[in-house]
Amino acid sequence: MMEKISEVKNLAEQFNNGHQEYASFIESDPIRNFLHYPTVEDELGDIRGKRILDIGCGDGLFSRRLAKERGAHVVGYYISPNLIERAQKKESDAHLDIEYKVADPLTFQSPDLFDRAVAVIVLPYSPDIDYIKNFFASARNNLKERGTFVAVVFNPEFRDFNQVVANRFFRKAATAGQVNFDFLDPDTKETKFNANLAQFSKADYERGAREGGFLSVEWKKLTPSEEGVKKLGKEFWEKAGASQPYALIVAQK
CA Rg value for the chain:
17
How far, in Å, CA of 14 to CA of 23, rounded?
12
Give the per-residue pLDDT at 18. Answer: 54
Is the pLDDT assigned to residue 2 strictly greater than 60? Answer: no
Of residues 153, 118, 123, the one with CA closest to residue 245: 153
How far, in Å, CA of 217 to CA of 205, rounded?
9
Other CB atoms within 10 Å distance of the CB of residue 148: 20
Number of residues that this document lists for the chain: 253
Is the pLDDT assigned to residue 9 strictly greater than 70? Answer: no
Beta pairing partners, 182? 169, 194
For 137-146, how does the pLDDT look when each residue is reduced to its tens digit (9 = 90+)? 999 999 999 9
Give the strand pairing for 143-154 and 73-78: unpaired
Is the pLDDT assigned to residue 10 strictly greater than 60? Answer: no
How far, in Å, CA of 50 to CA of 150, rounded?
15
Span 41-58, average pLDDT: 97
For 90-128, how does the pLDDT look when each residue is reduced to its tens digit (9 = 90+)? 999 999 999 999 999 989 999 999 999 999 999 999 999
The phi and psi torsions of 173 (rounded to 5 degrees) equal -85, 170
How far, in Å, CA of 87 to CA of 64, rounded?
9
For 69-85, how does the pLDDT look when each residue is reduced to its tens digit (9 = 90+)? 999 999 999 988 889 99
For 199-220, how does the pLDDT look when each residue is reduced to its tens digit (9 = 90+)? 999 999 999 999 999 999 999 9
What do you get for the CA distance between the two ends of the chain, in Å? Answer: 25
Give the per-residue pLDDT at 87. Answer: 96
Is the pLDDT assigned to residue 232 strictly greater than 60? Answer: yes
How far, in Å, CA of 213 to CA of 140, rounded?
7
> How would DSSP label each residue in 147-193?
EEEEEEEE-TT----SSEETTEEEEE-SSTTEEEEEEE-TTT--EEE
Give the per-residue pLDDT at 3. Answer: 44
What strands lie across the sheet with 191-198, from one edge to the other?
164-165, 168-172, 178-184, 191-198
Is the pLDDT assigned to residue 4 strictly greater than 50? Answer: no
Span 224-237, average pLDDT: 97
- C-beta separation of 31 from 37 below 8 A: no
Of residues 128, 84, 91, the one with CA closest to residue 106: 128
Is the pLDDT assigned to residue 12 strictly greater than 90? Answer: no
Q: What stretch of H or E contains 87?
A: helix 81-94
